[in-house]
């Protein structure tokens, strides 16, 4: 293994566009392809969600990026440094939690951080107290980790990430084990980290959390990235849903089916759910109301449903399933 020195001979790049960039990244475990030719681009300075159901290959991709396991094919770079060639340079400014954060149970939280700081640059030791303070662990820093709850270990994991003054944080399911207050604090901390100019990439299957926290996402399923982009852009490309409660739902369905081409209408009691194609103008919704009233149907309730990331994710992944 060659010794790479972080000095002027290999200046740090600051002009890179993507915090993480992969091309055709592939990782196999026997016949199982955990990461299948992934092309991923994580923009700098944002919170990026890496979304997927359990077993989709989220953690495997993170492990490959961090050099915890090797890739079978493809190229990747982090913070402008080619990985694994300049892994040490890239990881010098990366903090990460992978899987459940585990530490030496017989040591205190502070002592565990001392071990990790020693493996980083000398200045990292001076950041221990600030890191503990930031994750709210100062009071318990001198307790043995064996006595910590899952949530406290999660916080300690984040503190460990901060030791290297990271430009990129990769957090694998960071909300695991946190109570509602802890999740709220974690959300705020991620936002504050992004506000400081850092990039946070977090993998999760908690779509609601990702929607609240992230600016952009990539959806992964069965090792493939099936969509990526900003949440606003992705949701803009989803179907428009209109919920209607009226006096005669069956008649309304007949009227609207003939009036709206390309719409799908589901009826349940007095309620109709109208699915319109992506990009439908909102005047169409006003026209629905006009048409029903014109035909003598009393409209009690009419609302455009804001498509959530969760419903969009389910529709995207289910469509993918259907196509197979």
Partner 1 sequence: MSVVTTTPSGLDAGARHDRRGSWLPSGAMITTRIMELRKRRGLMAAMAIVNIGIPVIFLTIRLVAHAVAPKSYGPAGGYDVFTSLVAGVMFVFGFIVAAAVGCTAGSIDLTEGMFRHLVITGRSRLALYFARIPAGLAIVIPMVATGFVIVCAVCVFAAPTTLHYQGVAVPAGLSEPGLENWAAQHSAEVVCGFPTRGPVNVACFIGPNGKVVTPPGQNIPTLKTIPRATLKADAVMIAHEDYADYKNYFLSPPVPLMIKSGLWIELEAIIGFVVGLGLASLMGQRTVPVILMIILEIILTPLLSRNVIPHLINVQRGIVGLAVAHLEPGGLPQVFGGGGPGSGDHLVPESTTVAIVVIVAWLVGWTALGAWRMATRDA
CB of 67 to partner 1, least distance (A): 6
CB of 138 to partner 1, least distance (A): 9
Q: Count how many residues are written for the chain.
A: 324
- Rounded Cα distance between 114 and 91, Å, is 18
Nearer to partner 1, 153 or 222 (CB): 153
Residues near 6 by beta carbon (within 8 Å), at least 6 away in sequence: 88, 89, 92
CB of 164 to partner 1, least distance (A): 7
Nearer to partner 1, 161 or 240 (CB): 161
CB of 89 to partner 1, least distance (A): 7
Strand 47-51 relative to strand 73-78, pairing: unpaired
Coil, strand or helix: which one is 222?
Answer: coil
Nearer to partner 1, 131 or 280 (CB): 131
CB of 213 to partner 1, least distance (A): 19
Nearer to partner 1, 149 or 250 (CB): 149
- Rounded Cα distance between 109 and 154, Å, is 11
Nearer to partner 1, 119 or 181 (CB): 119
Nearer to partner 1, 160 or 219 (CB): 160
Residues engaged in binding partner 1 (CB under 8 A): 1-8, 11-12, 14, 63, 66-69, 79, 87-96, 98-107, 111-112, 114-125, 127, 130-131, 133-134, 160, 162, 164-167, 192, 196-198
Cβ–Cβ under 8 Å, residues 157 and 97 = yes
Residues near 161 by beta carbon (within 8 Å), at least 6 away in sequence: 95, 96, 97, 169, 171
Element (H, E) at 186: helix 180-195
- Number of other residues whose CB lies within 10 A of the CB of residue 266: 11
CB of 21 to partner 1, least distance (A): 17
- Rounded Cα distance between 278 and 265, Å, is 15
């Amino acid at each position: 293994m060659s010794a790479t020195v972080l000095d002027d001979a290999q200046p740090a790049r600051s002009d890179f566009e993507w915090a993480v960039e992969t091309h055709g990244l592939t990782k196999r475990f026997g016949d199982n392809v955990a990461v299948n030719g992934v092309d991923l681009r994580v923009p700098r300075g944002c919170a990026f969600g890496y979304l997927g159901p359990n077993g989709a290959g989220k953690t495997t991709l993170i492990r490959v990026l961090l050099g915890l396991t090797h890739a079978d094919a493809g190229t990747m770079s982090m913070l402008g440094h080619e990985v694994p060639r300049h892994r040490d340079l890239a990881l010098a400014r990366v903090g990460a939690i992978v899987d459940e954060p585990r530490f030496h149970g017989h040591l205190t939280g502070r002592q565990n951080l001392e071990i990790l700081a020693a493996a980083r640059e000398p200045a990292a030791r001076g950041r221990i107290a600030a890191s503990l303070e930031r994750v709210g662990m100062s009071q318990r820093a001198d307790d043995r980790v064996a006595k910590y709850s899952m949530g406290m270990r999660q916080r300690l994991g984040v503190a460990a990430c901060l030791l290297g003054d990271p430009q990129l944080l990769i957090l694998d399911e960071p909300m695991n084990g946190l109570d509602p207050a802890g999740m709220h604090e974690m959300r705020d901390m991620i936002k504050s980290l992004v506000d400081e100019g850092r990039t946070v990439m977090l993998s999760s299957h908690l779509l609601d959390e990702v929607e609240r926290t992230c600016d952009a996402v990539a959806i992964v399923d069965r090792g493939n990235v099936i969509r990526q982009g900003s949440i606003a852009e992705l949701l803009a490309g989803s179907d428009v849903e209109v919920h209607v409660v009226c006096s005669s739902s069956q008649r309304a369905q007949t009227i609207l089916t003939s009036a709206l081409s390309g719409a799908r209408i589901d009826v349940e009691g007095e309620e109709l759910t109208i699915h319109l194609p992506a990009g439908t103008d909102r005047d169409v919704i006003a026209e629905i109301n006009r048409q029903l009233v014109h035909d003598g149907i009393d409209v009690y309730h009419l609302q455009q449903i804001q498509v959530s990331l969760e419903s969009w994710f389910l529709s995207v992944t289910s469509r993918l399933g259907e196509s197979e």
